[in-house]
A = this chain, B = another copy of it.
């Protein structure tokens, strides 16, 4: 059972182009990358890139969309599932941090280069991703209501904190391939849940 669309040759090649762009942008930043860099990584000539993107900016948009793929759905699945808070948190962090090791760095690009897009396009991406934060926040809301979390918890703040922490670790593990991904995830979830202090 194929999980991705059969995909015409063009779509396949375009997908490769997006992944090449992701890798190059992740490495050198959007403004530090040239279309030639991307083309070289793809093994084609500079001009040929324009068969797949109508501009460099479009390439960035596509990389960001690629990064967002399955991102929100994942969160929705976690929210809908019938697990205790700590399991949901672990699942969230796993999903988020792992993404930094996948998709040729697209997630990193989304996080750091998205801002260079013109307002309009940035807004569209933002809307795409904001469901994520909302869903995550409801996990916190529910858990507080249910008595699992501190009753004084600022759920909005906690949500940002989780996301920010995931992004921070994501950067680190994207840069250093020697870091043990699951060790990071476990400790991260533990510390966020329980804090540094001895009980």
Q: Which residues of A contact B (CB under 8 A)?
A: 28-32, 85-86, 89, 112, 116, 140, 143, 147-151, 153-154, 157-158, 160-161, 163-165, 167-169, 171-172, 184, 187-188, 191-199
Residues of B contacting A160 in the complex (Cβ-Cβ under 8 angstroms): 169, 172
Selected from B85, B153, B165, B187, the residue in CB contact (under 8 A) with A168 is B165
Provide the bound-state CA to CA distance between A192 and B150, in Å: 13
- What is the minimal beta-carbon distance from A51 to any residue of chain B, in angstroms? 12
Count of chain copies: 4
Task: Contact check, A197 vs B198: say whether CB atoms are below 8 A apart.
Answer: no
- What is the minimal beta-carbon distance from A80 to any residue of chain B, in angstroms? 21
Q: List 30 A-B contacts (CB under 8 A).
A: A29-B29, A29-B30, A29-B31, A30-B31, A30-B32, A31-B31, A31-B32, A85-B196, A112-B112, A140-B196, A148-B198, A149-B196, A149-B197, A150-B194, A151-B198, A154-B187, A157-B184, A157-B187, A157-B191, A158-B191, A160-B169, A160-B172, A161-B165, A161-B169, A164-B164, A164-B168, A191-B192, A191-B195, A194-B195, A199-B199
